[in-house]
């Protein structure tokens, strides 16, 4: 298979590229190296693919790339490229979210329609559900985003399904729930907490710490994404969650146990757009994709800690 992965130098995208190469795919990675965090970190994500003959990196944004040429001979597309972040999506930066999350998706869908792409897999987010007391979240639950970021992810997801219904583009969407593991973005909670344990610095917790998340190890995310691309129902949407739903306070205690370091917690007010709780119902993914998360939160954090402490960009 020849496969295109957008967002290839990102946290999840780099892991997915490695997995696809291991499976025997010829992978074209597309990334524009957005400045949302250090470019050197993103370049480091691809270290394990250095010299790999079945991987090619193209540095370009979707809106600037020659997609017609890029998609020649490509069998399937994994669209992971996006501008992430709930808290940074307010105000003037919303225009950037529209560009990178909505407009880029529409342009890529148009190109894939013309290229007759065999499968288009879109990485969506649990942020599409928004603030809800209806837990666990199911694929048929109401979608009411609580942040501008969530609005753009839902808009792009709707575009993906529209292209399936109107033009027969073979699409599938996966909704990720709080992904963590080696190479996690530096602004995300587990990465910040582990880095603080390594550096001996305080950690900031927004709110009372009793907000909960369904944490999902990156290896399980990659497995679920691949399964959706191969066996998912066309036009379908699947939750991909780790089944490890804990509060931030419980998470901190677990990180202290894994690292052996007591964290000094500095509490601040909750931020706009942060939902109280997420929890995935993965029954549909289990039935249709045979998806069962393999990595417990404790084991996943131990792997994450080991990778960070060693300075390796592991899996």
Angle between helices 248-259 and 189-199 (to 10 degrees): 40
CB atoms within 10 A of CB 69: 7
Q: Per the structure block, which two tokens stand in for 260? A: 């052996």
**Half-sphere exposure at residue 282, Cβ-oriented, CA atoms within 13 angstroms:** 29
DSSP-assigned letter for residue 80: -
**What are the average pLDDT values for consecutive 10-residue runs of the chain, which has 315 residues?**
97 98 98 95 96 97 97 98 96 97 98 97 98 94 97 98 98 98 96 96 95 98 98 98 96 97 95 96 98 97 95 74
**What pLDDT is recorded for position 315?**
65
Q: How far apart are CA 39 and CA 44, in angstroms?
A: 9
Q: Torsions phi, psi of 90, nearest 5?
A: -85, 165
Q: How far apart are CA 36 and CA 149, in angstroms?
A: 14
> What 3-state class would DSSP assign to 215?
strand
**What pLDDT is recorded for position 133?**
85
Pairing of strands 212-217, 244-247: antiparallel
Please report, for residues 58, 85, 106, 109, the alpha-carbon distance to residue 101 in angstroms, rounded to integers and kept in the order given. Answer: 19, 11, 9, 12
The answer to whether 205 and 248 are in contact (CB under 8 A) is yes
Q: Per the structure block, which two tokens stand in for 77? A: 């597309």
Q: Annotated catalytic residue: which of 129, 149, 176, 217?
A: 149
Whole-prediction pTM: 0.97
Pairing of strands 119-125, 179-180: unpaired
* 149 tagged catalytic: yes
* Residue-range domains of the chain with CATH: 2-310 (3.40.50.720)
**What pLDDT is recorded for position 313?**
73
């Amino acid at each position: 298979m020849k496969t295109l992965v957008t967002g290839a130098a990102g946290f999840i995208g780099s892991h997915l590229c490695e997995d696809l190469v291991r499976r025997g795919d010829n992978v074209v990675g597309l990334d524009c190296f957005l400045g949302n965090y250090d470019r050197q970190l993103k370049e480091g994500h691809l270290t394990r693919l250095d010299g790999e003959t079945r991987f090619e990196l193209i540095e370009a944004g979707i809106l600037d790339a020659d997609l017609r040429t890029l998609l020649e001979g490509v069998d399937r597309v994994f669209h992971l490229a996006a501008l992430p972040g709930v808290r940074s999506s307010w105000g003037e930066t919303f225009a950037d979210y529209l560009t990178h999350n909505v407009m880029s998706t529409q342009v890529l869908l148009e190109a894939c329609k013309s290229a007759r792409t065999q499968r288009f897999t879109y990485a969506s987010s649990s942020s599409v559900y928004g603030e809800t007391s209806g837990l666990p979240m199911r694929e048929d639950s109401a979608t009411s985003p609580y942040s501008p970021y969530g609005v753009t992810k839902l808009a792009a997801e709707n575009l993906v399904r529209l292209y399936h219904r109107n033009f027969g583009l073979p699409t599938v969407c996966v909704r990720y729930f709080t992904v963590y593991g080696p190479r996690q973005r530096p602004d995300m909670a587990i990465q910040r907490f582990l880095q603080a344990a390594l550096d001996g610095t305080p950690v900031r917790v927004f709110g009372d710490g009793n907000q909960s998340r369904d944490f999902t190890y990156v290896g399980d995310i990659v497995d679920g994404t691949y399964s959706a691309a191969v066996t998912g129902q066309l036009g379908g949407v699947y939750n991909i969650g780790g089944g490890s739903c804990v509060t931030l306070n419980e998470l901190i205690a677990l990180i202290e146990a894994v690292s052996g370091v007591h964290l000094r917690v500095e509490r601040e007010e909750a931020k706009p757009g942060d939902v109280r709780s997420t929890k995935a119902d993965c029954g549909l993914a289990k039935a249709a994709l045979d998806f069962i998360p393999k990595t417990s939160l404790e084991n996943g954090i131990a792997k994450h800690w080991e990778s960070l402490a060693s300075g390796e960009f592991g899996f």
